[in-house]
């Protein structure tokens, strides 16, 4: 059954109990049924949002209890995987992450506990149930409307939730999967997550969570409730079964053993106890924003301002330690900044490009040729030439430059927003592709996989032209990549999943898991505090100096009013005179002191590179 279509509809005139993630925790599941009985909630008014089977010891017994109860069950990714005898749980963890490694043991244990009849039952569960209550229709799903294992948290951008709510076709969504309860009203529509009963909410208490949806003549109240249960017995069973100690311990500590899936906000709030509360969703009207938990101030700053004593001395840090430096191993990529003029103004442009910023003047084809000659004369191992800006296609000589670099045998990478400046050169680009297209790649900037957040960064009416340009390039067979940003707090894996959906919808054969084809840059803010990097940091962080941009890349710029171009240490620092390395490639070959916040944030801690 498609997750966008449902034939399962239930109607309720009384309170509905919603819960998620029993996770093979028999003690918690039994305690929840006892609580429902105490509250006089009959089985037909109980809904589980999936992941019946997961971390705990009692996979078969928990499933049997829920199956016999007569409550409504939605398929979770664990039921989908176990029901189809898949190789893994399908939770959506990043490959090789701590969550991914820990899942292997409990998934194998659950697989051994479940016979073919139980698997067949799980495989037949609906992926969506619609609930009609208080004059509203709500889609009950597991992860998201269009993806069963999508993590949607309280801090997940509202734009992402709006996209899912539009796809739902109803008044709101009741979801599970993320394990942490919250309720949000967005444009008078509801996103609700009851949390999980099989594991605590990572809030430092052993309590687990469920919710009650109560209809009223003028709207719907959503109550978040905590539940106590015999977590010690559940943990003892897990240990006896040889399941990961981290999950067993978390039943008592209330803290998850791994947090790879969590966005920045939820990581910050790890161990902050939740307090039961409620939200009223009126039949008409209602404000947007995270309304529960109320202790989550949406606008609270997530970073401290940069300490002014940092990044002053190129030799030593503010603490008096020797600052890290990086030697040029080999110049494998040479960048040309074609000029800072751009057809749009981004909110957080790395180098302040705009229709008015001409601090970096247009490079000419002749000036570029001088550096290509130096590469040849000095026998440098340069294989790739990159073009960045501004918007490179604003430079009137861009096509001559591309032709020259490709004719000399270099691979060429062009960073573009794929909008009108690029589209003016369609005929020339098609001709260039026919002659030398095998070595030409265009990387299109799409800051987010939703139009709303892309335009929040790039301005109104920038999404459709960018998508049109990207689609034109794909349709004509150009080698493509896409560049996005991680500035909205979503984990990288969630961003890649979102872009994968977008690429599929556009019919693009781009693999969002391939870091060469989808490059996700870390958030950049030179005013935010970040650690200074010492030589010892490389060993502590397990980062090889040779992996940083300044070990293999340089960028040629021409500052406004300058008689000739000069070489900068990297693509991110075109204005800082401390990183101006002189007019020739030979002069730029010395070591680079990591004396800038970008060195720490983007390169060392962010692990990013403009060339991949």
Q: Which long-range contacts (CB under 8 A, 24 or more apart) does 510-513 make?
A: 510/474, 510/480, 510/481, 510/482
The model scores a pTM over 0.75:
yes
- Alpha-carbon separation of residue 374 from 380, 383, 406, 412 (angstroms): 8, 14, 16, 17
In the 8-state DSSP scheme, what is residue 426? H
Among 65-79, 144-158, 402-416, 517-531, name the one with the lowest average pLDDT. Answer: 517-531
Predicted local confidence at residue 285, as pLDDT: 67
Separation between Cα atoms, residue 493 and residue 150, nearest integer Å? 10
The pLDDT tens digits of the residues spanning 387-404 come to 999 999 999 999 999 999
Predicted local confidence at residue 1, as pLDDT: 31
Q: How sure is the predictor about 348, in pLDDT bands with cuts at 50, 70 and 90? A: confident
Q: Which is it for strands 411-416 and 440-445: parallel, antiparallel or unpaired?
A: parallel
Which of 509, 500, 505, 502 has its CA nearest to residue 480?
509
Predicted local confidence at residue 489, as pLDDT: 82
Place of tokens 């800006």: 389
Predicted local confidence at residue 294, as pLDDT: 74
| Cβ count near 115 (within 10 Å) | 8
Residue 262 dihedral angles phi and psi, to the nearest 5°? -80, 135
Separation between Cα atoms, residue 46 and residue 318, nearest integer Å? 58
The pLDDT tens digits of the residues spanning 164-177 come to 999 999 999 999 99
Terminal alpha carbon distance of the chain? 39
Q: How sure is the predictor about 296, in pLDDT bands with cuts at 50, 70 and 90? A: very low
* Residue 142 buriedness (CB in 10 A; 0-12 / 13-18 / 19+): buried
Q: Which is it for strands 411-416 and 384-388: parallel, antiparallel or unpaired?
A: parallel
Helical H segments across 70-143, by residue range: 77-83, 98-113, 116-123
Given a cut of 50, whether residue 217 has pLDDT beyond it is yes
Q: With contact defined as beta carbons under 8 Å apart, do 194 and 18 qualify?
A: yes
The pLDDT tens digits of the residues spanning 563-577 come to 999 999 999 999 999
Q: Tell me if residue 537 falls in helix, strand or coil.
A: helix
Which of 487, 481, 497, 483 has its CA nearest to residue 456?
487
User: What mean pLDDT comes out for the span 540-553?
Assistant: 94
Given a cut of 70, whether residue 288 has pLDDT beyond it is no
Predicted local confidence at residue 297, as pLDDT: 44
Which of 126, 213, 205 has its CA nearest to residue 174?
213
Predicted local confidence at residue 527, as pLDDT: 81
Return the bridge partners of 217, or none.
none
Query: Could you tell me what percent of the chain has a pLDDT over 70?
Result: 96
Give me the domains of the chain, ranges plus CATH numbers. 11-292 (3.60.21.10), 329-529+548-581 (3.20.20.70)
In the 8-state DSSP scheme, what is residue 187? T
Q: How sure is the predictor about 23, in pLDDT bands with cuts at 50, 70 and 90? A: very high
- Sign, Cα dihedral of 160, 166, 167, 168: positive
Query: Could you tell me what percent of the chain has a pLDDT over 90?
Result: 84
Predicted local confidence at residue 567, as pLDDT: 98
Among 94-98, 144-148, 458-462, name the one with the lowest average pLDDT. Answer: 94-98
Given a cut of 70, whether residue 579 has pLDDT beyond it is yes
Q: With contact defined as beta carbons under 8 Å apart, do 474 and 503 qualify?
A: no
179: left (phi over 0), alpha (psi -120 to 50) or beta: left
The pLDDT tens digits of the residues spanning 50-100 come to 999 999 999 999 999 999 999 999 999 999 999 999 988 988 887 777 787
Separation between Cα atoms, residue 470 and residue 476, nearest integer Å? 10
Separation between Cα atoms, residue 290 and residue 512, nearest integer Å? 30
Two tokens at 516? 């060469």
Two tokens at 41? 């909630």
Place of tokens 């957040």: 453
Separation between Cα atoms, residue 20 and residue 40, nearest integer Å? 20
Q: How sure is the predictor about 264, in pLDDT bands with cuts at 50, 70 and 90? A: confident
Predicted local confidence at residue 3, as pLDDT: 38
Predicted local confidence at residue 7, as pLDDT: 55
Q: Which is it for strands 208-216 and 16-19: parallel, antiparallel or unpaired?
A: antiparallel
Given a cut of 90, whether residue 531 has pLDDT beyond it is yes
Q: How sure is the predictor about 522, in pLDDT bands with cuts at 50, 70 and 90? A: confident
What's the order of all strands across the beta sheet hosting 136-140?
9-12, 129-133, 136-140, 172-175, 189-193, 182-186, 289-292
Predicted local confidence at residue 236, as pLDDT: 98
Task: Work out the mean pLDDT of the chain and round it to a whole number.
Answer: 93
Look at 490 and 412; give whichever has higher pLDDT: 412
Close Cβ partners of 522 (under 8 Å, ≥ 6 residues apart): 486, 601, 602, 605, 606, 607, 608
Separation between Cα atoms, residue 176 and residue 364, nearest integer Å? 56
């Amino acid at each position: 059954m498609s997750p966008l279509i449902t034939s399962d509809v239930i109607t309720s005139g009384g309170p509905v109990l919603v819960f998620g993630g029993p996770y093979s925790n028999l003690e918690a599941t039994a305690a929840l049924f006892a609580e429902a009985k105490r509250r006089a909630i009959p089985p037909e008014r109980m809904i589980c949002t999936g992941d019946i089977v997961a971390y705990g010891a009692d996979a078969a017994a928990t499933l049997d209890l829920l199956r016999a109860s007569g409550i409504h069950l939605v398929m979770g990714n664990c039921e989908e995987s176990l029901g189809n005898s898949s190789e893994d749980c399908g939770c959506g963890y990043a490959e090789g992450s701590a969550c991914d490694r820990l899942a292997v043991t409990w998934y194998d244990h659950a697989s051994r506990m479940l016979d073919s009849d139980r698997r067949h039952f799980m495989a037949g569960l609906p992926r969506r149930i619609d609930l009609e209550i208080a004059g509203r229709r709500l889609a009950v799903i597991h992860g998201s409307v269009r993806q069963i294992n999508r993590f949607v948290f309280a801090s997940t951008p509202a734009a992402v939730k709006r996209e899912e709510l539009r796809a739902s076709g109803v008044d709101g969504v009741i979801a599970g999967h993320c394990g942490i309860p919250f309720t949000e009203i967005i444009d008078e529509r509801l996103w609700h997550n009851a949390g999980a009963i099989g594991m605590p909410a990572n809030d430092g208490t052993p309590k687990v969570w469920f919710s009650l949806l109560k209809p009223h003549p003028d709207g719907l109240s959503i109550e978040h409730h905590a539940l106590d249960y015999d977590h010690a017995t559940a943990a003892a069973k897990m240990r006896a079964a040889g399941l990961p100690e981290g999950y067993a311990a978390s039943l008592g500590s209330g803290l998850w053993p791994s947090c790879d899936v969590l966005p920045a906000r939820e990581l910050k709030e790890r161990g902050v106890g939740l307090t039961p509360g409620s939200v009223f969703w009126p039949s008409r009207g209602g404000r947007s924003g995270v309304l529960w938990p109320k202790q989550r101030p949406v606008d609270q700053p997530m970073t401290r301002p940069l300490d002014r004593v940092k990044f002053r001395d190129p030799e030593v840090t503010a603490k008096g330690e020797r600052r890290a430096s990086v030697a040029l191993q080999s110049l494998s990529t040479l960048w040309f900044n074609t000029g800072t003029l751009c057809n749009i103004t981004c909110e957080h442009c790395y180098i302040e490009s705009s229709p008015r910023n001409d601090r970096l003047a247009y490079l000419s084809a002749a000036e570029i040729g001088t550096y290509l000659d130096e590469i040849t004369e000095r026998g440098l191992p340069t294989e790739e030439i990159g073009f960045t800006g501004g918007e490179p296609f604003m430079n009137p000589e861009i096509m001559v430059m591309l032709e020259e670099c490709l004719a000399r045998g270099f691979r060429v990478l062009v960073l573009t927003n794929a909008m009108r400046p690029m589209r003016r050169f369609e005929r020339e680009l098609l001709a260039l592709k026919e002659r030398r297209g095998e070595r030409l790649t265009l990387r299109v900037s799409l800051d987010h996989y939703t139009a709303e957040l892309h335009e929040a960064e790039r301005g109104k009416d920038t999404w459709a032209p960018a998508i049109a340009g990207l689609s034109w390039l794909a349709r004509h067979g150009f080698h493509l990549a896409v560049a996005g940003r991680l500035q909205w707090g979503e984990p990288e894996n969630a961003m890649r999943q979102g872009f994968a959906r977008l690429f599929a919808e556009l019919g693009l054969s781009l693999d969002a898991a391939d870091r060469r084809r989808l490059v996700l840059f870390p958030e950049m803010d030179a005013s935010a505090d970040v650690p200074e990097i010492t030589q010892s940091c490389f060993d502590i962080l397990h980062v090889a100096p040779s992996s940083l941009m300044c070990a293999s890349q340089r960028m040629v710029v021409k500052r406004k009013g300058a008689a000739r171009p000069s070489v900068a240490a990297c693509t991110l620092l075109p204005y800082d005179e401390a990183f101006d390395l002189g007019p020739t490639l030979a002069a730029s070959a010395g070591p680079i002191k990591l004396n800038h916040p970008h060195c720490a944030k983007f390169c060392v801690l962010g692990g990013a590179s403009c060339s991949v």
